[in-house]
Structure 1
Amino acid sequence: MPYQPEFLLRVYRTMKTIRIFEERCIKEFEGGNIPGFVHASNGQEAIAVAACIDLTYKDIIGSTHRGHGHCIAKGCDVIGMMKEIMGKATGLCKGKGGSMHIADFDKGMIGANAIVGGGPPLCNGAALGAKTRGTKDIAMSFSGDGSANQGTVLEALNFAAVLKLPHVFIFENNGYGEGTSANYALGCDSLAERNGAFGMPSEYVDGTDFFATYEACQRAIQRARQGEGPSSIEAETVRFDGHFIGDPQLYRGKNEIADAKVNRDCLTLFRNRVLAESWLQAPDMDAIDEEVELLIASAVQEGLNAPDPDPAIDLMADVYCSY
């Protein structure tokens, strides 16, 4: 058996936690309990978990505006996250980050980022720090296909290659940069091939297949830890919801989403694979489903009951850092 049951159960639990967390965020947003915008990562869970499942808290990740899944996969507390998304004073960032700016430095999560393409340069800094200190720690940045044409991202790829930084670039290609098709926006047939032109190993993987994605990430992570420099992975995936919750998605084809949920759901594909191989048993996975539902329900209730920030006290707190 190539994978231990304990590992597979941890993978399934994390993927399921992301899925239920996102579904409840959508519900709470539509119910008026979450301010601002919500960008759900439903359908993309396999990439986040495959990339982060073996990272340590000393390894640094940088995320995107669609970052809830990356936070959970990196070990951020879901109750603290829900409070943060609801803008509460006891959230992970004291209610100042919200959905698009969650960070938890103790877990190696330097922040989701509403600036498209903002993560890779920041992760270059983390990777340069690790290399300078001589550790085996790595940095990993998540970007969407919509960020792939940003100058910040292209410069970060080149910079990482020049300095042989321990940086793994993950590009989640869900087919759309907001409402623009990647087939139109990318002036190349393969994002993986284009990234490889910067002078680093670069591969394409089916991001709905946890196992293929995990193995690709392991190759890149090992290379970074061994001091062999950066790697790039293009993981093709699917976004079950709109760019933001409330997006009418008029740019998508008829039955496109329904078909994806039937044929390209990474959770369904994972479950079918492990049951077919007799690696896990259905009752164990069903038990996880129930436990996760209770956890997220608790997170929502604690978020609703948590105190709001006090503007008189909290507005100017933590704005500047004194060294």
Structure 2
Amino acid sequence: MASRTQGAAEGVAGSAGGVATSELSGPAQHGLELYRKMLVVRRFEEAVQSLFQKGEVHGTTHLYIGEEAGAIGVGDVLGEHDRVAGTYRGHGHALGVGVDPQGLLDEMLGRETGVCGGRAGSMNVIDLEHRLIGSFGIIGGSISAATGAALALSRQGNGGVAVAFFGEGTTNHGYFHECLNFAAVLRLPVLFVCENNRYGEFTPFEDVTAGEIAARPQTLGIPTETIDGMDVWAVREAADAAVRRARAGEGPQFIQSMTYRFVGHSRSDPGKYRKPGELEEWKARDPLLVARARLAEAFGVDAGVVDGVDAAVEAQFEQIVARALAAPYPDPARDGAREFAPTTS
């Protein structure tokens, strides 16, 4: 697994893409790193999409393009004792907590060097080394997993907080109501992050959801905030405050992150159900564009420095894709698997 170790040094949690940023410090340097992390997620998802279209990625895929600020903003405030449960749209969640992009892409291609040895694929990645307790294809599975992890963390007393990412459609499922009630009763250290991208597969959330989503945790006494999920600084600020409260023993916290996916629900969805002009309106609030503007206006970061980060990440992913395609497949004999042998009568 040497490639995973090497990749981690170059991954989401690394330096600003090899760009000379010696003149930057403090908030400017941190802001540039937040931008780079989001860009890594974007380029990763674009690589997955391209490789899928070429037949290299099997099964289905659910891309996080447009929602990068959520995973990066939350992941940036987490510590070593925290745990994260992602969704089937979980590549960004994984990268946000520091999972090696090389090992993650190898996993997408079913290669031996993948974070799960090529056995998990797109929707079921686990990387306990980086605090990712799972990515869940079951709607609401992330909520129950994070709630259980929070129960364990509360007993360990190490200040750890569990985080559950989930979509707005999950708020109409039983997992949501049962787990939030359980967490509230026991005052568990868990942060529930509802990534409201406005559509449950092909259905606008307002067509199937009565009332306001934020009102649901509020009725249980859970502190709740609705934020701009396209702004990584807004996400980070809200997540930082929520995690601090949870660490301090103030019980579960809830964030509704208003965001938007720029692609279809999955590989087979062309997104024709969107209202005319809606996609273009949201793309004007692309998290990468928002971050570039903030870096220039608030921190005085030169556009050339940001362009250098872009170029470095592009070069990084050329290497990541090449390595993934060259990586070996698992050996069924060594892994203990058996070829299917039909029985004879």
TM-score w.r.t. the length of structure 2 is: 0.88
Aligned length: 314
Residue number among 158, 161, 179 corresponding to 2:202 in the alignment: 179
| One-letter code aligned to 1:30 | Q
Q: Is contact 1:58-1:107 (8 Å) kept?
A: no
Establish whether residue 255 from structure 1 lines up as the match of residue 277 from structure 2.
yes
Hey, what does 2:246 align to over in structure 1? 224
Instruction: After superposition, give the CA deviation of every residue in 1:63-100 in whole Å (9 maximum; x if it has no partner).
Output: 00000111111000000000001111110001111111
State the shift of 1:3 in Å. Answer: 6.0
Residue 107 of structure 2 is matched in structure 1 by 84
Q: SS where residue 214 of structure 2 aligns?
A: helix
User: For 2:64 and 2:186, how far apart are their aligned partners in 1?
Assistant: 32
- Partner of 1:137 in structure 2? 160
Match of 2:62 among 39, 42, 56: 39
Q: Which of these residues, 121, 126, 132, is aligned with residue 98 of structure 1?
A: 121
Q: Identity, % of aligned pairs? A: 39
- The answer to whether the 8 Å contact 1:238/1:264 transfers is no
For residue 245 of structure 1, the aligned residue among 255, 267, 292 is: 267
Q: 2:170 aligns with which of 135, 147, 155?
A: 147
Give the equivalent residue in structure 1 for 2:292.
Answer: 271
Q: CA RMSD in A?
A: 1.5
Alpha-carbon shift at residue 181 of structure 1 (Å): 0.8
Distance 1:122 1:173 in 2: 20
Q: Offset of 1:101 from its aligned partner?
A: 0.9
- SS, match of residue 277 in structure 1: helix
- Segments of 5+ residues of structure 1 without an aligned counterpart are 318-323
Aligned to 1:19: 42
Gapped regions of structure 2 (runs ≥ 5): 1-24, 339-345
Counterpart residue number, 2:84: 61
Pair 1:5-2:5 in alignment: no
> Which of 219, 222, 242 is equivalent to 1:197?
219
Give 1:310's aligned residue.
331
- Give the superposition deviation at 1:54: 2.0
Matches of 2:318 and 2:182 in 1, distance apart? 44
Distance 1:302 1:60 in 2: 29
Larger radius of gyration: 2
**C-alpha offsets along residues 259-301 of structure 1, whole Å, 9 cap, x if unaligned?**
322x221110111122012342222211111111122221111
Bigger Cα displacement from structure 2, 280-289 vs 15-24 = 280-289
Tell me if the contact between 1:57 and 1:106 (Cα under 8 Å) persists in the aligned partners: no
Kept in 2: contact 1:193–1:203 (CA 8 A): no
Give the whole-Å Cα distance in 1 for the aligned partners of 2:336 and 2:296.
51
CA distance in 2, matches of 1:279, 1:50: 21
Contact 2:140/2:173 (<8 A) preserved:
yes
Q: Deviations over 1:239-268 (max 9, x none)?
A: 10000023122221223223322x221110
